[in-house]
Structure 1
């Protein structure tokens, strides 16, 4: 046996005992029934209380996502610090505004910015008309400025980006997002707040310069951030859309100048006073 390469080591103590060989006292045999073992597929089943929805729940949520409260709640999922940071990025555009949003566009800032613009346009427009009045007759506040400003600002901020988004989708753009377009146009209105605050004088040329500067700044902001979306369409289509975007924004600037900071505003109440109100 040793010639076949087998080496046997035997531990022999002094008493000649070949180790403890009474194995029956130490070994215990247990019967095992493999049929009772749990199925491995049942063992790896996920917990039903997990925060991750299953496939069925996910499809159901996507089906009713538009009509759920969470769809509108996510548009206001920002705090005051984040809104202020986005306002600063809109006034001093050092980087693309869509990168500042970080995939979380909001409507909280655009709604309050548009409301602030409407109120300030009404106040400064009223001051401008009062200065142009020159005390010729009794001056009365004209609340058509408030309703006209609300229709102009809210209508432009809501309809134009939605129309732009629909047009981009029509021409096959995959990167267009309705919330991002609304957010972009909403924060672009921020420039009209300082413009309105300094355009209350009765110097038409000075007001024209201020409004022109506001138009240039807001147009640069829009074109810089919309260009990646517009360039996703065909070259000729993107040029036409770019011209339309600039033309519509120019129309907004002209409307602000004419309606609020001109003595011949169409919203001005030019009705002659009644006989009882005329002074002798």
Structure 2
């Protein structure tokens, strides 16, 4: 078998690839001038920030932070056009889950009085929006369910109007009352921010969500106690934080603080009377 093979020399055989010639030259790569950037730790927040429109720069106690450029380097609209641009309102939703949870936790401890200071540079509308939205459906659904438990099943009917009235009450309260307080503080010469007030009032309503679940129990005395405690906690949280800011800035701070607390207690009273008290045959049924 070995006789069938022979060695090949340097001749070129058809179909073969020639051996690359050796060379002493070394391939050199030029150094890149590309600039590297460190990773940006946004922790779930929106990338980039914007200059808030209007008076948000004096966000209650200190000016808010933000840059003029938006995502991709595009400048945010200025002047009156900023009020009609979604880009301009993006900073008010620039929060992550941990910050929202921390602010909710602070609203359940009303005697700290440091909520305004913690949110002065980053007031958000994300938490207040979802708190109000949750309250609309929770109070309407649980109010109807509590009515079912407290009355005869044959005479019970689902009241769909509670959804619309809940939306009007909570969205209207958080939207209108802080707006009125904002103009009052402006008139008195107190530096305030409208978005910061919306943030404060929105988080002050969170305590009514667990209170609504407890009001399902068909025992009217317990409902009064639960709504009363929730109202005092919510009003105290609101009053203490407003007092912390305006006590040294206005001589009428006591009247403003007590009025704000009284209105908040009035909201708790409306919550109890409309959603967890039942009217049948022109009489009030308490169980």
Relative to structure 1, the CA distance from residue 238 to residue 95 in structure 2 (aligned partners, 3 Å threshold; closer, same or farther) is closer
The equivalent position to 2:139 in structure 1, one of 108, 117, 121, is: 121
Give ranges in structure 1 of 5+ residues lacking alignment. Answer: 1-50, 272-280
Post-superposition shift, 1:87? Answer: 1.3
Post-superposition shift, 1:231? Answer: 2.1
Counterparts of 1:73-88 in structure 2, within 5 Å, are 73-88=90-105
Q: Give the equivalent residue in structure 1 for 2:25.
A: none
Post-superposition shift, 1:201? Answer: 2.3
Post-superposition shift, 1:184? Answer: 0.3
Name which one, 1 or 2, has greater alpha-carbon Rg: 1
Residues in 1 aligned to 2:130 and 2:78: alpha-carbon distance in whole angstroms: 30
Cα deviations by residue, 1:215-273 (Å, 9 ceiling, x for unpaired): 111111101111133325432x2222122112211110110010011123xxx7x69xx
Equivalenced residue count is 211
Residues in 1 aligned to 2:236 and 2:77: alpha-carbon distance in whole angstroms: 42
Cα deviations by residue, 1:97-117 (Å, 9 ceiling, x for unpaired): 022225100001100011111
The equivalent position to 1:143 in structure 2, one of 160, 169, 174, is: 160
Post-superposition shift, 1:79? Answer: 1.8
Return structure 1 stretches of 4+ with deviation > 6 angstroms: none
Q: Would the aligned equivalents of 1:165 and 1:178 in 2 still touch at CA under 8 Å?
A: yes
Q: Would the aligned equivalents of 2:77 and 2:85 in 1 still touch at CA under 8 Å?
A: no
Counterparts of 1:19-168 in structure 2, within 5 Å, are 61=78, 64-93=81-110, 94=112, 96-135=114-153, 137-168=154-185
Q: Give the equivalent residue in structure 1 for 2:247.
A: 231
Q: Would the aligned equivalents of 1:230 and 1:241 in 2 still touch at CA under 8 Å?
A: no
Normalised by the length of structure 1, the TM-score is 0.68
Residues in 2 aligned to 1:155 and 1:221: alpha-carbon distance in whole angstroms: 20
Normalised by the length of structure 2, the TM-score is 0.67
Relative to structure 1, the CA distance from residue 81 to residue 59 in structure 2 (aligned partners, 3 Å threshold; closer, same or farther) is closer
Post-superposition shift, 1:52? Answer: 7.4
The equivalent position to 1:242 in structure 2, one of 257, 276, 286, is: 257
Give ranges in structure 2 of 5+ residues lacking alignment. Answer: 1-66, 70-74, 283-287
Relative to structure 1, the CA distance from residue 157 to residue 132 in structure 2 (aligned partners, 3 Å threshold; closer, same or farther) is same
Q: Give the equivalent residue in structure 1 for 2:210.
A: 194
Post-superposition shift, 1:92? Answer: 3.1
